[in-house]
Structure 1
Amino acid sequence: MKKLSALICLLIFTQNIVAQKPAGKDFWWKRNNLRVIQMNLPSYEAATINADSIVTDLVHFSANTLLINAGGIMAFYPSKLDFHYINPYMRPGVLADIVKKCHEKDIKVIVRFDFSRVHENIYKAHPDWCYISPKGERIINTDMYVVSINAPYVQEKAFKIIEEVIDLFPIDGIFLNMPGYQVNNPYEGKYHGIDQNDYDKKRFAEFSGGQTLPTEENKADPLFQKYLEFKKSTVEDWSERLHKLVKSKNEQIAICTYSDKFVDIIRHESQSMTTLPYWPYTASDNVGNAVNSFPDHIVSNASIQQISFQSRYNAVEPQEVQIRLYENIANGSGLDMSMMGDMRGYEDERNYEVFRKVYAFHKKHEPYFGKYKSVAKIAIVAPGAWPNGEPMQEYRGVQLMLREAHIPFDIIEDGQIANLADKVKAYKLLILPEITYLKPESIEILKEASKLGTNLIATNRTLFDNPETLYQLFGAKIEKKDNDGAGNYLVPDNRQIFKSFPGQSMLFWKFNLGLYDLSGTDAKYLPILAKGRPGPPEIIGGHDPTGYYAMGIKNHAKSRGIIFPVNLGRIYYMHGYQEHKNLLLDAINYILPEASQTVQTNAPARVETILKEFTRNTVINKEKTSSDGMILHLVNLTGFSGNTYFEPLPLYKLTFRVRSEKQPKKVFGLTNGQPVKFTYKGGFIDLEIPKLEGFEGIVMDWN
């Protein structure tokens, strides 16, 4: 009898353990098959939105996730909290009806919160909750005031608002818009400075051991560096507290925002550009960065429909949206689109057919998306998640060179190198485009990778703040890191390396041309010629050797380090001369000739090729890690002219040779389901694509 009782207790205990699951892999978002439509509602649309029409539209467009307003700046439901401003157009019961009817169609609902601002009524009652600049200014948008992250509204009241929503509605996720510290008014393009709210001053003093909150952003100032640590620490503390609150309510509620700590879904955005040159690879850039830098997270990259904050009711071109969406799924994200309002009576509906087509395509072929493994042997280090300025131009230019050459590569965010040590060391080449600062632990990873056989290429001012590492890895010493190169020339001297310059003995330069002592290298190339004599034809010339070089190679036991102390990426990104691209491609072919062999094709440079190993993304395969085959995504960018987007040109008789460790059992195209003729020999798959329109996914199935 005692044995029976013990057995019953054991069974009950075991059942309780099973019931206490799910494990993380059972969470709904882990499937990575999101098809999100975000309806960013202006206040007045709360008076007209209708649950039935919203759900009808979501079903029509094959969406499986709705992202819609709930609270923060204003409540889109009848909040009972006196510090939560209620949208005057709000109709009680509408949000509940939307959630209910979405669930009836198996559509998940993520609700949006924005705690960056409060209504002036709340500001007047609690001015101490709001931002104040070093000049004593507030950041105001009409009747909304920017808040201080360390004041009670964000630190206490925001949690009450989120808790109220979770208690009222059976939501599937929360999205946090504009989290963190605010120093700009992005809607007006104005910088205001470091928040001087008393709560910020007090908390910074506690964090720093009594130091005074800085008033200027100066990276050379140790006080500002301490402030950056303070911001990171306080944001992560808030995020951790939020995570604990949400998961204590319901583990199946996903947390989504733009950061990576204590979130389930990292959101990114493909936005329109206001300056030339336009960047047609924004989705590949965003998703590639996030999925490789944060491999344990799901990434959702939103195609933002608006032209700008000042032009929200005009959408970007349909052809650009199509490129973004196809790049999303080709790189491992789901689909995500953000628009102003709901889909009825929208001011610019030109993109609707693109949404319908691509979302339906993803739904139909779900098993071939979302569970990818990279085949890349090269990684480009990105200067952060949201690059800007000259480092962004350098970074994008290097990307552009490899994309146009159809060379597969991954992207690793500079701040994540130390967290991805094994992954980083596995690459055969790391490219650092003007990566001016790396954490000490990241530097050690680079050194270890170099010893193990990873080649390194650095451009422009990379590691200028770490002379010891710069010399150790690249044999370079800086004499003058900032030097205007306009008028100088480079000589492609060694034709065993520089094979792409028939008929050319001098390459013009522009932008930065660093003057480095490369005596610590094992070889110096690309002699720099002096600016010479500017003027009429009769007097020009005088481009004599300066004694400096624009490329150095340092040999290590198992690898090489190549340095280009020049704006190699920026000059190509801004001007697009093939000679500058060929300098990098020739260097890559010299140290890693296999890089150009992974994908060989006659396709033009404007066809983006994205090659991945895939595992069928089905419920039964949720724990499977071995690959089922390869998929070659082809995104046709021939309609991109540099400053606008047209329909892509149809392309015919494209040939591809793809390196593959296995012979496929079958090869077919996803867009038409038709088989593709192929041969397999010597570790390569040869195939021909009769016609490419906007997109194709070529599945090479091993099973």
Structure 2
Amino acid sequence: MNKKKLLSLIFLCFLSTITYSQTAKPWWKRNNLRVIQTNLPAYEAATLNPDSLVKDLIDHSANTLIINAGGIMAFYKTKLDFHYTNPYMKEDMLAEVVKKCHQHYIKVIVRFDFSRVHESIFKAHPDWCYISPKNERIINTDMYVVSINAPYVQDKAFKIIEEVIDNFPIDGIFLNMPGYQVNNPYEGKYHGIDQNEYDKKAFAAYSNGTALPTVEDKTDPVYQQYLSFKKSTIENWSERLHQLVKSKSNQIAICTYLDKHVDIIRHESQTNSLPYWPYSASDNVSNAANSFPEHIISNSSIQQISFQSRYNAVEPEEVGIRLYENIANGSGLDISMMGDMRGYEDERNFGIVKKIYSHHKKHEQYFGNYTSVAKIALIAPGAWPSGEPMQEYRGIQLMLKEAHIPFDIIEDAQISNLKEKLQKYRLIILPEISYLKPEAIALLKDLNQQGTSLIATNRSFFDSPETLQTLFGAKIVNKDHDGSGFYLSPDNKELFKRFGQQKMLFWKFNLGLYDLSDADKTYLPILSKGRPGPPEIIGGHEPTNYYALGIKEQAKAKNAILPINLGKLYYLHGYEQHKNILLDVIDYIFPENGQIVQTNAPERIEVILQEYKKNILANDAQKQSDGLILHLVNLTGFSGNTYFKPLPVYNTSFKIKTEFKPSNIFSLNSGSAIPFTWASGFVSFKLKTIEDFDGIVINR
């Protein structure tokens, strides 16, 4: 072959490579991530050994690394004078890590954090940084929080990202702490709405000259406008970032905690408040995966106990639960630690990480390609719930988990975007959900007319009296009534079948007083507060003529309102009588709910049933599922304050509704076949032992 023809062939191969890289299915879409994130302290850049790092990743079956690149400081030799360089940085460290990872087919996502700049940058450009209503800065040692609408974020950040993409063949970028910063999370201090001049000008332009608010008040129309402004500016910035990254390559993933213009939504399971929440990963993944079904979800198990205690890891058993719940709900695996694994200060979790990552790698085809079988949707008060709405929401979630009732979680702000998905549910539960968009309320009403029933608790829809009246026949008399000392009476035993031995149920926290005269039926009479004192004088609990439950009959559905802190009471105190209120109401409104999964498994065995398609390339066009997979996560070691090793559970039986007669059933843990029977649309089988986790595959 002559030289001219050889050069032409090389050029054609080069064009083919470019075309493939721009048109091939993005690598993350396979949804088989096994991520290890090394959050490098500055000084570890001097000692990090790329060879040992890659060896540890391979030993732990990781296929994706997240590692520092820039923002707060550059972990490479930057040419940008506004990008502070890590003083411990080795010039070739990042390049060597990327090269050696790629040699072993490990993807590399680089971490950026544009929330802060070094003191040297602040002194040169103080106008780039946050300033509070009290004229304060947010400072962590020598790092200053920036303003999102100032030039550093709006211009310089893009130049930093572009420099990294142009100099390193990375597979993705991860943005830490995106958006508006009003807290110092590392010290637990709130500072207030940013009053930077760039923010003032941007908000004035957005709002036709309105002054920037100084107080977060949801009842203030200006603050509501400010919330819209924040959303708009963040989405605009994210869109510009997306355009930049994808102009370089559509094989570079954008990963962060936001949902617009990103490829991988990241979430975090971390232990930073009491009571501990063992369902954190299930909560996070189900919420994100069902609210944003077109995205890949990666829920990270955060090693550290707190920001103040970064080098002490949470218990291995807690990490195991988080990772197993990730798998069961359709996420890959993701763990975040301080530095790399060599010389680590707390290595107790490495064994469980190695075990579960290896399990995921071995059985990869059975994970990450799921369709939920749930007929109940639980609406979440946001992606990162907090305060009383979070307590109410988690309490309701806990009741459903312990009763082994399949359900999906959907974020309240996404209701109006998920009409087709919501149509499959027979029951939607709204735990203290308010501030819904008009279009979301309209969709709920439409679904209700089509046959989807609703259950609302506590202060749900308090800001929409018309909705309360139309859907539930309810009017607010006092939505913030202290229920301490009051009782509820489950006197109607036809509905409250779980209360054969109880006539009065104690109350605490909020006990809303509502006029339910336009409801079709009322239950749970509220008995007045009794006389406090010694036994000789107590009593006096009389009917108040208020009820804690109203049911409104719709054409094809039933709606129930419980204007009481039912979920919060169970979340904080855990008395089963309060859980039984909800379970009896669900049985009355949606009796078929108990047919999907029937089991004698203990309450602390988390049961998650999914339809699955094998996660292999040949199945991408396949419409029909390959069968069902029953995930079992053993939480029996969770005591409320401590995570112990789970107790093995013996001789559990399952009866599962399925439209097909299975060809075989087997355990992913043991590989052993499981005997079963199938009759009238139900498959039944028994498991001899459930250890910490198992996946039971039910094939067509």
| TM-score, reference length from structure 2 | 0.97
- Residues 150-193 of structure 1 show CA distances to partners (whole Å, capped at 9, x for unaligned) of 00000000000000000000000000000000000000000000
Range moving further from structure 2, 675-684 or 160-169: 675-684
Q: 1:625 aligns with which of 608, 619, 623?
A: 623
Q: Is the 8 A contact 2:316 2:349 kept in 1?
A: yes
TM-aligned CA deviation for residue 273 of structure 1: 2.9
Give 3-state SS (helix, strand or coil) of 2:510's partner.
Answer: coil
Give the partner amino acid of 1:329: I
Q: Report how many aligned residue pairs link the two structures.
A: 688
Q: Is the 8 A contact 2:667 2:695 kept in 1?
A: yes
Q: Equivalents in 1 of 2:567, 2:642: separation in Å?
A: 22
State the partner residue of 1:601.
599
TM-aligned CA deviation for residue 18 of structure 1: 12
After superposition, the Cα gap between the structure-2 partners of 1:25 and 1:436, relative to the gap in structure 1 and judged at 3 Å, is farther
State the partner residue of 1:273.
272
Which residues in structure 2 correspond to 1:24-423 (within 5 Å)?
A: 26-275=25-274, 277-423=275-421
Q: Equivalents in 2 of 1:19, 1:73: separation in Å?
A: 33
Q: 2:546 aligns with which of 515, 528, 548?
A: 548
Give the partner amino acid of 1:151: A
State the partner residue of 2:681.
683
1:456 lines up with 2:454 in the alignment? yes
Q: Equivalents in 2 of 1:425, 1:223: separation in Å?
A: 35
TM-aligned CA deviation for residue 533 of structure 1: 1.0
Give 3-state SS (helix, strand or coil) of 2:423's partner.
Answer: helix
After superposition, the Cα gap between the structure-2 partners of 1:25 and 1:632, relative to the gap in structure 1 and judged at 3 Å, is farther
Q: Is the 8 A contact 1:425 1:445 kept in 2?
A: no
TM-aligned CA deviation for residue 627 of structure 1: 0.5
Q: 2:641 aligns with which of 635, 640, 643?
A: 643
TM-aligned CA deviation for residue 22 of structure 1: 6.9
- Residues 22-80 of structure 1 show CA distances to partners (whole Å, capped at 9, x for unaligned) of 78881100000000000000000000001100110000000000000000000000001
Q: Is the 8 A contact 2:559 2:589 kept in 1?
A: no
State the partner residue of 1:525.
523
TM-aligned CA deviation for residue 493 of structure 1: 1.6
Q: 2:610 aligns with which of 586, 609, 612?
A: 612
TM-aligned CA deviation for residue 622 of structure 1: 2.3
Q: 2:691 aligns with which of 689, 693, 700?
A: 693
- Residues 472-495 of structure 1 show CA distances to partners (whole Å, capped at 9, x for unaligned) of 001100000000001111010211
Give the partner amino acid of 2:517: S
Give 3-state SS (helix, strand or coil) of 1:604's partner.
Answer: coil
Q: 2:653 aligns with which of 629, 652, 655?
A: 655
Give the partner amino acid of 1:314: N
- Residues 570-595 of structure 1 show CA distances to partners (whole Å, capped at 9, x for unaligned) of 10001000100000000001111111
Q: Equivalents in 1 of 2:595, 2:602: separation in Å?
A: 16
| Structure 1 unaligned regions, length at least 5 | 1-14
Give the partner amino acid of 2:156: K
Q: Is the 8 A contact 2:22 2:250 kept in 1?
A: no
Range moving further from structure 2, 587-596 or 345-354: 587-596
TM-aligned CA deviation for residue 422 of structure 1: 1.5
Q: 1:473 aligns with which of 460, 471, 474?
A: 471
Range moving further from structure 2, 403-412 or 590-599: 590-599
After superposition, the Cα gap between the structure-2 partners of 1:687 and 1:489, relative to the gap in structure 1 and judged at 3 Å, is same
Q: Equivalents in 2 of 1:247, 1:675: separation in Å?
A: 46
Give the partner amino acid of 1:356: K
TM-aligned CA deviation for residue 316 of structure 1: 0.1
Give the partner amino acid of 2:129: C
TM-aligned CA deviation for residue 354 of structure 1: 0.3
Q: 2:435 aligns with which of 437, 459, 471?
A: 437
Q: Equivalents in 1 of 2:18, 2:103: separation in Å?
A: 25
TM-aligned CA deviation for residue 283 of structure 1: 0.1
State the partner residue of 1:516.
514
After superposition, the Cα gap between the structure-2 partners of 1:641 and 1:390, relative to the gap in structure 1 and judged at 3 Å, is same
Q: Is the 8 A contact 2:21 2:249 kept in 1?
A: no
TM-aligned CA deviation for residue 623 of structure 1: 3.0
Give the partner amino acid of 1:376: A
- Residues 654-682 of structure 1 show CA distances to partners (whole Å, capped at 9, x for unaligned) of 11111111111000000110111111111
- Residues 413-462 of structure 1 show CA distances to partners (whole Å, capped at 9, x for unaligned) of 00000000111122100000000220000000000000000000000000
State the partner residue of 1:7.
none
Q: Equivalents in 2 of 1:263, 1:547: separation in Å?
A: 53
Q: Equivalents in 1 of 2:24, 2:548: separation in Å?
A: 50
TM-aligned CA deviation for residue 254 of structure 1: 0.2
State the partner residue of 2:5.
none
Give 3-state SS (helix, strand or coil) of 1:233's partner.
Answer: helix
Q: Equivalents in 2 of 1:637, 1:350: separation in Å?
A: 19
Q: Is the 8 A contact 2:23 2:250 kept in 1?
A: no
After superposition, the Cα gap between the structure-2 partners of 1:20 and 1:432, relative to the gap in structure 1 and judged at 3 Å, is same
Give the partner amino acid of 1:136: N
Q: Is the 8 A contact 1:25 1:622 kept in 2?
A: no
Q: Is the 8 A contact 2:22 2:251 kept in 1?
A: no
Q: Is the 8 A contact 1:115 1:154 kept in 2?
A: yes
TM-aligned CA deviation for residue 17 of structure 1: 11
RMSD over equivalenced CA pairs, Å: 1.4
State the partner residue of 1:498.
496
TM-aligned CA deviation for residue 274 of structure 1: 2.8
Give the partner amino acid of 1:264: D
Q: Equivalents in 1 of 2:435, 2:331: separation in Å?
A: 29
After superposition, the Cα gap between the structure-2 partners of 1:468 and 1:650, relative to the gap in structure 1 and judged at 3 Å, is same
User: Percent sequence identity over matched residues?
Assistant: 70
After superposition, the Cα gap between the structure-2 partners of 1:45 and 1:22, relative to the gap in structure 1 and judged at 3 Å, is closer
Q: Equivalents in 2 of 1:477, 1:374: separation in Å?
A: 36
Give 3-state SS (helix, strand or coil) of 1:620's partner.
Answer: helix
Give the partner amino acid of 2:322: R
Q: Equivalents in 2 of 1:102, 1:538: separation in Å?
A: 76
Q: Equivalents in 1 of 2:50, 2:112: separation in Å?
A: 20
Q: Is the 8 A contact 2:297 2:332 kept in 1?
A: yes
After superposition, the Cα gap between the structure-2 partners of 1:492 and 1:25, relative to the gap in structure 1 and judged at 3 Å, is farther
Q: Is the 8 A contact 2:22 2:249 kept in 1?
A: no
Give 3-state SS (helix, strand or coil) of 2:83's partner.
Answer: coil
Q: Equivalents in 2 of 1:354, 1:26: separation in Å?
A: 32
Q: Equivalents in 1 of 2:145, 2:576: separation in Å?
A: 47
Give the partner amino acid of 1:292: N
Q: Equivalents in 2 of 1:228, 1:19: separation in Å?
A: 42
Give the partner amino acid of 1:194: I
Q: Equivalents in 1 of 2:88, 2:400: separation in Å?
A: 51
Give 3-state SS (helix, strand or coil) of 2:317's partner.
Answer: helix
Q: Is the 8 A contact 2:482 2:509 kept in 1?
A: yes
TM-aligned CA deviation for residue 82 of structure 1: 0.3
State the partner residue of 1:5.
none
Q: Is the 8 A contact 1:315 1:348 kept in 2?
A: yes
